[in-house]
Structures are given as C-alpha cells and as structure tokens.
Structure 1
C-alpha cells in the first residue's frame, strides 16, 4: 500500500492574524498516451484545471501536480496495474486493453453499430457505474477510485489501399486495439493487436495494411501519412476507460479535495463527450486538408448504408459470446446498456440484447 505523499504547509511566513495556512498536496498524474491525444490533454485542461479552480475558492488546499504523461511511468499495457500499485497517484486507465480484468467495461466493444453519440454512451456508462454493483466492483477491486470516464469518437477504417467494396477487406491485416478486433470478424480481414502508440510503425513496416481507429486519434498520431485511404464506416463509439485515483492515496486526501476531484471528474466526462461529438467531423476534415499534398493524397469515401448493414449482419453474435464468457451479471448489464441508449434516442443497427435468447 502506498501512503499519501506528505502534506506541506505553503507560505511559511504568514501575515499576522492569519487563521490558517494553505496546505500543498503533491500528487502525480500520469498516462500511457501523450497530451496531443485529446482526452489525455483534457486531463490537464479540464480535470486538473477544474480541481485547481474549485480549491482556489476556499484557498485551504493546493495541488502540486507532478505530471508524467506520454508513457513516462507506464505504457499502454500497464495502465490499470500502475494506478492500482501506486506507481502513479492518479492516472488514465485504458480499459480497452484490460479485458481480462475489466470485462463489463468492454460492453461497447461487443456492441458495434449501437451508437455514434459519445455523450450519450458516457452518460449511460456513468449511470451503470452508479447503479450496477457488479460494474462498480469491477473497478473498485483493483484499489482504484473512478473519477472521470473516457470514450471514443466513431470508428472508421484507414488503409494503405482503397476499399471499394466489402469484399476488399478479405485477407487484409487491420490493426485494432484489444477487443475491437471483434468488429472485424466475419469481414475476412485479419486483426493485428495494437494501440495508437504503435499503429504508425505497424502500418509503415507492413505489420498491418491499415487500422480500425478514430479520427481524433488518427489526426495527432498522423496515421493518415501511412494509411491515406479513409473509409467512413461509422461503426460506433466505445467506452475506453477512466481517470482513476489510487485508493490508498484517495483515502488520505481531505474531504474537500475529494469533493473537488469528484466534481472535476464529472465536468471532465461531460466536456470530453461533447468534445468527441463536435470534433469528429473537424478531425476528418483536417486529416484531408493535411494529407492533400502527400503522395498518395488522403481520400475519404463514405461506406454506403447497405454495406454497413452487410457488415453488422456478417458479424457473429459477439455480444452473446461476451455475455457467456463474462458471467451471470453480463446479460442484465447488456440489457441495461442497450435500453439506456434507446431511452436517450439512439437506434442501434443490431439489437444485440434481443439475440441473447436466440
């Protein structure tokens, strides 16, 4: 167990009559990905900044942030354990790569074409975290406190060669993160495991022919340079993880600081979801603009609706497979997730929950 880093008193020379001195709390915040990735950058600009703003209202506490973004402390394959073990006090947990430890968190990865609306999905996931004991326990058992949720914008295909028909996917090697490889099953493509930190090199060196990824990740990672053919599939958004605090550190924080972090986490989740929604189209436009003069230039093609329907129907019943492998709590969790989407106006292209009994 890692003890809370020592509190220090700010302003050793206080004015006469001062009732209390401000306490400075050193905390390390880290991630596997760089701040050029939007949801990581927003940890600084929204989560941390909001905490600082809230605490400044009373002046009782100040956080001395020790930043270790961009894989300085841990890589993408160790995000959960690094927060759990106190390698960092607060960190981004990349749940897409933690399927064995966080199986319920993979729900979005096993229900493609269900929603392209990040704010709605994050709202549903927060509701489930607040109301579903199995989901909350899934995170809490790893000695972490979830503070803010992260998701993705909608996924598309970026390749070295154009995709002109559904059949063109046959035999292609497509990089995909973790459980999202399931979205390629039934297409004839071969999934190659990876993440935004490895995709560029994998495509450049021929390990893969392209990537299943999202515009807000492709843009800063410059994947369009090596995969200039963009096929806009609108496969859906996925729950990708959370900002989490080490439980031992959390328990040692003053209540005022804890409350500030909870409020900042909610603010981050809402702002992040809206940012994903608004910037997806911008990112696709920017990718085309930046790649216009390269050879070959970036080319975007929108996948026809009938081809999207063919894709989703070609998939095996991955939601049922996930539910069976996850355990008895999974069917109810899936029902709640899909109904949560529908209650907010979403129209899934495939009723994954209805197929559990078929």
Structure 2
C-alpha cells in the first residue's frame, strides 16, 4: 500500500492557453480505533482535510485516500508494526502500549501530577522530537516518519463509594490501565490491571471498587452507572502516541506532498490538544446529567488541595525508577526527563512535584 506503487497520473486539466498535469497520489490511512474516538475522527476532519486543502492550493497533486479505520486492517496491539511494515501508509501509532520498544515515549506515565494542560504537554513532546535525537530515533528506527502527537484528557477517580480524603483509598481495589497503576502506589489502594472494555464488569462483580480513568472513556462506557462517585483529582494527562507515515511510502512522495503532510500533522496535533480540553469538561457535565436519575445519583466532588498534595507526596520516585531503567538501556533518560519537565515549566506549567529534582 505504499505510495511507491500509488503515484498515478490523473487527467489533464485543460485551462485556457495552458495545460496543467495533476498527479494523483494514492495513500491508505488506517487506525485500530473507530472514528468516534476524538483523535481518530480528527484524522479525517482535520489532518486529511488540511492535506487536501494545501495540495489544492498548489494545484499539482491530489490525494486519493483509502480509509481503513476502526480496526479494519489491525488491532490496538499492532499499530506500530502495521505502519512499520506498510500494512497501511499512514496510521495512528499507540506508543503508550509499546513500553519496551518505545521507552522514552513513556515519560509522561512516570510523571503524574505534572500538568493537566494538553496543549502544553503535546507542544513539549513535539519540541523534544525535534531537539532530542534519541527520541526521534525511537520512532524512526521502526521505518516511521512522525507527523503529529496525540494525548489524553485528565485522569480522575470513579468509585462505588465516596472519597472524602486520601485515607478512604486505604485497602480499596482500583482498576487502572497498565503502567498507570503505579500512580496508586503510596495511597494504600491496590491497583487492578484492566482496560475500558473490562472496567464495568470488574466493578459490577467486585473485582475492583472503582477506576482511575478519563471522562472521555467513562462516558461512552457508562462506568458511572456502577461507579457513581467522581472525585476530581486532576492527576494529569499523558502522551499516547502519534500519527505516522511509513518511511518507504514517504521516500516515494514528491516534496510538495511531504510538506503538506507535515504541516497538516502539526495542525492536527494542535487542534486535537485544544479539542481535548473542551471535550473533557463537556464529558464530565454529560456524566453528571446522565447519572442524575440513577440510584445512587452521580456525584462529583473535587479532592481538596491538601489531600491532593498528600497523594503527590506519598508517591515513590516513579520518575527516578524510570530513569534508572532507561539508563540501564543506554538511553539519556535523565536528560530527557529534565528536558520534558523544563518544557512544561517554560510553557507556564507548575508541576505539583519536581520529578527531575528528586536527588
């Protein structure tokens, strides 16, 4: 599905006094998730649309898109390999599931309570991609060209019983996705590994007493029906991956098309970040509205600042552990951590804990 086999001549557009030969470039764009997921839907509405607009202005090329969203070609556990191997030309890479192969991309998972500002975080990560060769190589070694970054909305607690203080978490079983279970260390809660597809049943059957999750995930999964008590902790947002194109496809594209893809990728990333901030608040409002008539009704409270800080202070040195593991692999993890935290501060963020200054 490479553009190497996909650049074809389109019809001549005959204009008065001249003729303009326009080329058609055939590209497959795919994802493991459906377009109802905001950052996947925006591949269509923002990235693809912006590429088309830019190329139309130039008049030399047009894209014939072959769309394969929603797991048509591959599932969530194969996003990296599918773009790498050319199963698709362009696809969303879920780097958050690739801890072993993409360790530097996991820095946000080990620095909770650093920022809830998605634009600031994704702007920082895109800057690091341009300034830290090892981070760029982490993506490019898999035959990828990085186009744009994606992230999450903020994580909070959704539980079967109210949480008035950090002490209420003592002994509770809280479902959390993968590595984010480490955010519960020091709280007295026990992390239960799970995903949005298992959370509802886990709570319903008593496997867990609640979840550490996102409003944009809780709303469509209707988790509030079994975990009606929302405690807004604002634990932070995470870098989840990005849009990428297969390197072989990229090398076969005209420069004008490459420039349009990069510019559209930047636009997509910025638009997605801003969109998440709005959608998070809207999702919380919908959850409260939808659950108002159930028994017990959905109740939203904000964790007091002093209790939130107790949580922050109770956490072990997660970033330090991550640095140690990264350095054991020969990666500049400490420098990367400092650059990430400094990038947030330069954008006006004040982390609740200075993970890069723990020594």
Q: Compute the TM-score of the two structures, normalised by the length of structure 2.
A: 0.92
Match of 2:186 in 1: 186
Structure 1 unaligned segments of length 5 or more: list them.
Answer: none
> For the residues of structure 1 that align with 2:28 and 2:291, how far apart are their CA atoms?
37
Structure 2 unaligned segments of length 5 or more: list them.
Answer: none
> For the residues of structure 1 that align with 2:340 and 2:13, how far apart are their CA atoms?
55
CA contact (8 A) 2:13 2:21 kept: no
Shift of 1:208: 3.7
Aligned 1:310-349 pairs, distance under 5 A: 310-327=310-327, 328-349=331-352
> For the residues of structure 2 that align with 1:17 and 1:224, how far apart are their CA atoms?
66
Shift of 1:207: 4.5
CA contact (8 A) 2:12 2:22 kept: no
CA contact (8 A) 2:3 2:89 kept: no
Q: Does 1:279 align with 2:282?
A: no
Task: Write the deviation string for residues 238-271 of structure 1: whole angstroms up to 9, x where unpaired.
Answer: 1111011111111111111111010001111111
Q: Closer, same or farther in 2 for the Cα pair 1:183/1:253, shift >3 Å?
A: same
Match of 1:212 in 2: 212
Shift of 1:314: 1.2
> For the residues of structure 2 that align with 1:253 and 1:295, how far apart are their CA atoms?
58
Shift of 1:55: 1.1
> For the residues of structure 1 that align with 2:314 and 2:199, how far apart are their CA atoms?
26
Shift of 1:212: 1.6
> For the residues of structure 2 that align with 1:99 and 1:64, how far apart are their CA atoms?
34
Shift of 1:32: 1.9
Bigger drift between 187-196 and 67-76 goes to 187-196
> For the residues of structure 1 that align with 2:176 and 2:5, how far apart are their CA atoms?
38
CA contact (8 A) 1:86 1:246 kept: yes
> For the residues of structure 1 that align with 2:158 and 2:314, how far apart are their CA atoms?
20
> For the residues of structure 2 that align with 1:56 and 1:188, how far apart are their CA atoms?
58
CA contact (8 A) 1:5 1:25 kept: no
> For the residues of structure 1 that align with 2:16 and 2:286, how far apart are their CA atoms?
57
Which of 351, 355, 359 is the equivalent residue of 1:352?
A: 355
Shift of 1:17: 6.4
Match of 1:309 in 2: 309
CA root-mean-square deviation? 2.2
> For the residues of structure 2 that align with 1:175 and 1:68, how far apart are their CA atoms?
31
Number of aligned pairs? 356
Shift of 1:194: 3.6
> For the residues of structure 2 that align with 1:204 and 1:85, how far apart are their CA atoms?
40
